[in-house]
């Protein structure tokens, strides 16, 4: 009986990942240079916008399967994002672009911004998955 009590406590202590965000930006770009994707439950919202005073945002939404969401959550747990600094390298220096991943777990936000396509080792697996998902919105108009 004690075993059941302690094992149920361990399960209830599991991280509650409620939101995953991913994005890229390029400061010296003319077209749609800022791209953001937010995953809440199985709903994915993708927004792209221009730099400057007239961002002209375009937003598209889609859903993902429970299995795909579970895979993303599994990759997020392995990422150890909460142990990384908020900024790594020099994102968007010399217009090299910036990329970021943000996770909200148990009400706390953890965001890491890094140089575009220079992903920290801890985030590589989830970054590959999020990039592929973002690419599926390439026709968002």
CATH number at residue 124: 3.30.1560.10
Tens digit of pLDDT per residue, the chain (141 long)?
434 334 333 343 446 889 999 999 998 888 899 999 999 999 999 999 998 888 899 999 999 999 999 999 999 988 889 899 999 999 998 778 999 999 998 889 999 999 999 999 999 999 999 999 999 998 888
Q: Where does 27-97 have alpha helices with state H? A: 66-79
Domain for residue 38, yes or no? yes
Domain count, the chain: 1
Do the domain assignments include residue 22? yes
Containing structural domain, residue 32: 14-135
**Domain presence at residue 140:** no
Does residue 3 belong to any structural domain of this protein?
no
Could you tell me if residue 4 is inside a domain?
no
Residue 64 counted as domain residue? yes
């Amino acid at each position: 009986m004690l075993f059941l009590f302690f094992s149920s406590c361990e399960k209830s202590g599991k991280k509650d990942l409620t939101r995953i965000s991913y994005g890229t930006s390029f400061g010296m770009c003319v077209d749609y240079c800022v791209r953001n994707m937010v995953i809440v439950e199985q709903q994915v919202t993708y927004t792209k916008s221009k730099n400057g005073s007239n961002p002209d945002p375009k937003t598209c939404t889609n859903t993902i399967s429970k299995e795909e969401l579970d895979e993303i959550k599994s990759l997020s747990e392995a990422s150890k994002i909460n142990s990384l600094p908020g900024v790594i390298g020099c994102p968007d220096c010399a217009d090299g672009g910036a990329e970021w991943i943000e996770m909200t777990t148990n009400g706390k936000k953890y965001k890491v911004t890094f140089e575009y396509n220079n992903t920290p080792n801890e985030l590589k697996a989830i970054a590959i998955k999020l990039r592929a998902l973002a690419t599926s919105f390439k026709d968002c108009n």
